[in-house]
Amino acid sequence: MNKTLKINSALAFASVAALAFGTAFAQDPTVKTVTPYGFARFNAAWSDGIGGDAPNGTTSAAAKAEKGEYRFGVGATQSRLGFNFAGPSFEGGALLSGKIEGDFAPGTLRLRQGFANLSFPNVGLNILVGQTWDLFAPNDPNVVNFGSLNTEGDLAGNRKTQIRLTQKLGSSADIAVAAVSKKTNSDNSGDYPGVQARIGINAPVKFGVSGHYSTGNTASADEDHSLDLPATWGVAADLSAAVSIISLTGEFFYGQNLSAVAGLGKTHKEDGEDKGTNSLGGFGNIGIQATDKLSFNLGAGIEYAGDNPENELQTNGAGYANLQYKLAPSATVALEYFRQQSEYVGGAKGNFNRVETSLTYAF
């Protein structure tokens, strides 16, 4: 049994045992509150190139996308529905909570998040079991179309099934580690869970450093019984800050075969052998809260993966500017200009311009 498997097995056993023990000794085993939330959302997008009209986000421009005719698309599949659960509580102050959340982005209902969380406020410890956001590179840009910067400098589009431990370090810092489900870059289930970790400072200026690692092995029917591909790993730094009406959000990352976490890098052949592809990238977002109802955002992101396989993306980037206006506390209308540029291994290029609007009614 290798070291990674031992660590993940110990983490999984300890976390599930703690949840089971806590539930068995709850003072009152019933859920105390269930709070629904969500929003209905309409998107409409016009583009001057192939792919730019997708109402659920476009992560690259097709080769010679600008040669396509003008396109228009609409959708409501980013609408979302969720429930937060609180209780029961336990002797000593521990509390069990949870969440179930879904949206319709594939055209049918899908699970975004679904987890239980056991917190011990007296010692600052949280144990989470289920599906939620990755610890690695967690920041998101404030774009109108949620998926717009995936593979363009934003890796925060991943939600995985995981077992996570989070421990507070004083009043303004914490450290978290998780055993996560994964796919290798061949899109097969991996042999062991992956590992992610992050340490963060939650002061007025929020800063974090995170990492992830997963083996590239998976079951195979060949004589070796295993497909041994290069591992996927990465390191990242994230930052969020606000001064008066101006806010800054961004992150930077570097790693290998980051397609496993919504990046570009994939396994490539070198002298007949499988090799990992290194990539680096990041994004930055500047926000301005002009009034209590009107806000503006300006940002850009890029990722470069020089050794990707032929015809795969090598450089992928985008820039955007948007305004968002609250018609009411629960209703927001937005308008965004988005410019996408993509370059492929082998020299093919594509770009498009997109204008998109959305109307969101939340509850």
E strand segments, the chain: 33-47, 71-75, 80-89, 95-103, 110-120, 125-133, 159-168, 173-180, 194-202, 206-219, 226-243, 246-256, 268-270, 273-275, 278-289, 294-304, 313-328, 331-344, 349-362
- Token output for 114: 């679904």
- Token output for 64: 């010679």
- Token output for 291: 């009034």
Report, as an integer, the average pLDDT of 240-262. Answer: 94
* Contact of 212 with 234, CB cutoff 8 Å: yes
pLDDT at 11: 46
Residue 235 scores a pLDDT above 50 = yes
**Could you tell me the pLDDT band of residue 69, with boundaries at 50, 70 and 90?**
confident
Residue 9 scores a pLDDT above 50 = no
Report, as an integer, the average pLDDT of 314-336. Answer: 97
Q: How far apart are CA 203 and CA 201, in angstroms?
A: 6
pLDDT at 187: 46
Residue 136 scores a pLDDT above 70 = yes
Residue where the block lists tokens 């993306």: 313
Environment class of residue 7 by beta-carbon count within 10 Å: exposed (0-12), middle (13-18) or buried (19+)? middle
pLDDT at 190: 61
* Contact of 322 with 143, CB cutoff 8 Å: yes
**φ, ψ of residue 16 in degrees (nearest 5):** -65, -40
pLDDT at 191: 66
Helix (H, G, I), strand (E, B) or coil at 12: helix
Residues in the chain: 363
Helix (H, G, I), strand (E, B) or coil at 94: coil
Q: How far apart are CA 76 and CA 229, in angstroms?
A: 39
Q: How far apart are CA 201 and CA 363, in angstroms?
A: 31
pLDDT at 30: 64
Q: Quote the DSSP letter at residue 28.
A: S
Report all structural domains of the chain as residue ranges with CATH numbers, in order of start: 3-362 (2.40.160.10)
Cβ neighbour number for residue 162 with a 10 Å cutoff? 25
b/e string for 229-250 if b means 16 or more Cβ within 10 A?
A: bbbbbbebbbebeeeeeebebb
Q: Is the dihedral of CA 118, 119, 125, 126 positive or negative?
A: positive
pTM of the model: 0.86
Chain segment 120-132, per-residue pLDDT in tens: 999 999 999 999 9
Chain segment 156-207, per-residue pLDDT in tens: 768 899 999 999 999 999 999 999 987 544 444 566 789 999 999 998 999 9
* Contact of 317 with 300, CB cutoff 8 Å: yes
pLDDT at 346: 87
**φ, ψ of residue 29 in degrees (nearest 5):** -75, 10
- Token output for 112: 């975004």
